[in-house]
């Protein structure tokens, strides 16, 4: 195993403020005032799925809501975000050990690159792979497949996925990758066990211990 794919939201950075503000902005166009705790459900899954699941939007209305979401997010929400404490040290240590690092996120690739550039983290990653703006590639399994293709990885035993939600685990397994579920983001231990994460790390120290042992 020499390649590590990282989710972005809830794994590398805490995006809660920017995402919840952008979702709230979009929902207000439909006369919906939402509680903050409910807005946190949007961190991780593809936006189109969340608008459809939680508010009963059809595909067309969900895509329209995403346009409103991006009005706010592309201007302000991108930067209402913070890197988890110790994350840069972890990435630097992994690079020093010779690992190839990449990002696989359901966030549009254009936004992911801007965020990682803003926090001066882009140079740690060989590839930064995300969703397309038109949602033709948005499911985590599809993004991971795209990342593996970009990295020219044909043997799934040489890579592993790190993420904080069920979509990261499911998407990894769809691509025959093992997955590490982290508990410092927006998923919990019950979710990781239900979706059969291969490893669970409660913090960055445990994450480094697991990776070092593989």
**Distance between first and last Cα of the chain:** 7
Annotated catalytic residue: which of 7, 142, 164, 168? Answer: 7
- Contact between 91 and 121 under an 8 Å Cβ cutoff? The reply is yes
φ, ψ dihedrals at 59, nearest 5°: -55, -45
Contact between 106 and 48 (Cβ < 8 Å) = no
Name the token pair of 194. 């239900």
Strands 82-83 and 13-14 turn out to be antiparallel
- The span from the CA of 19 to the CA of 41, in Å, is 10
**Is 9 one of the annotated active-site residues of the chain?**
no
Decide if 109 contacts 128 (C-beta within 8 A): yes
Catalytic sites, residue numbers: 7
């Amino acid at each position: 195993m020499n390649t590590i794919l990282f989710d972005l939201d809830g794994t590398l950075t805490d995006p809660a403020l920017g995402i919840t503000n952008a979702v709230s902005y979009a929902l207000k166009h439909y006369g919906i005032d939402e509680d903050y705790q409910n807005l946190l459900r949007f961190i991780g899954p593809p936006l189109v799925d969340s608008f459809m699941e939680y508010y009963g939007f059809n595909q067309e209305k969900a895509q329209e809501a995403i346009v409103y979401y991006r009005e706010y997010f592309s201007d302000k929400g991108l930067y209402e975000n913070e890197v988890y404490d110790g994350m840069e040290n972890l990435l630097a240590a992994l690079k020093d050990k010779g690992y190839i690092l990449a990002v696989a996120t359901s966030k549009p690739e254009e936004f992911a690159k801007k965020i990682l550039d803003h926090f001066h983290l882009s140079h740690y990653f060989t590839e930064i792979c995300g969703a397309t703006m038109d949602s033709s590639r948005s499911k985590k399994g599809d993004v991971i497949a795209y990342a593996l293709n970009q990295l020219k990885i044909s043997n799934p035993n040489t890579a592993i996925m790190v993420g904080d939600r069920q979509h990261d685990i499911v998407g990894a397994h769809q691509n025959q990758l093992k997955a590490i579920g982290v508990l410092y983001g927006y998923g919990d231990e019950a979710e990781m066990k239900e979706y059969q994460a291969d490893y669970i790390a409660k913090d960055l120290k445990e994450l480094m211990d697991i990776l070092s042992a593989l």
